[in-house]
């Protein structure tokens, strides 16, 4: 049913739930498993980040730590990716690139409180693939 499963994570609690579901599905269906972390350069503005390489480096290191944790907990092979840009666009492009059969992500990001996060909403609207939120 699923040959390629993609999880997008920001390290939030809901992203962790999505990761757990994604790992279960990939393991059950013997699917390729990919995990992506996107450094949201639009949050601070490109011009602000352009002169602050330390900020981008810190965000990338945080993403690497999150992805390394996913790979360490998995009992299957995990392909990890870190990209910069607008998260919903980058996630959609990567899902297309790997021909993902299913994309999972948290329904709330780090800052969204009790409502669906803007990234989750945009991914559901933007990505032309099955999307599951947790």
Q: What mean pLDDT do residues 113-124 have? A: 84
Please give the pLDDT value at position 53. 77
- Predicted confidence (pLDDT) per residue in 34-54, tens digit: 999 999 877 665 555 555 778
> 39 phi and psi, to 5 degrees?
-75, 115
CB atoms within 10 A of CB 55: 14
Q: Is the pLDDT assigned to residue 102 strictly greater than 70?
A: yes
Taking residues 52-79, report their average pLDDT. Answer: 93
133 vs 16: CA distance, rounded Å: 11
Q: What is the pLDDT of residues 73-97, one digit of tens each?
A: 999 999 999 999 999 999 999 999 9
pLDDT at 19: 98
- Does pTM top 0.85 for this prediction? yes
What span, in angstroms and rounded, lies between the C-alpha atoms of 112 and 118? Answer: 8
pLDDT the model gives residue 111:
59
Is 36:90 a contact under the CB 8 Å cutoff? yes
Domains in the chain, ordered, with CATH? 4-133 (3.40.50.620)
Residue 58 is encoded by which pair of tokens?
Answer: 């810190």
């Amino acid at each position: 049913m699923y040959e390629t499963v993609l999880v997008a994570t920001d390290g939030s609690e809901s992203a962790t739930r999505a990761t757990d579901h994604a790992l279960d599905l990939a393991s059950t269906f013997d699917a390729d498993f990919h995990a992506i972390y996107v450094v949201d350069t639009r949050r601070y503005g490109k011009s602000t980040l352009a002169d602050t390489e330390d900020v981008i480096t810190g965000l990338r290191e945080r993403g690497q730590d999150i992805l390394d944790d996913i790979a360490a907990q998995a009992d299957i092979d995990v392909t990890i990716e870190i990209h910069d840009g607008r998260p919903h666009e980058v996630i959609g492009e990567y899902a297309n690139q790997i021909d993902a059969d299913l994309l999972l992500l948290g329904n709330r990001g780090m800052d969204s409180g009790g409502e669906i996060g803007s990234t989750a909403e945009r991914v559901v609207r933007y990505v032309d693939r099955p999307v599951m939120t947790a």
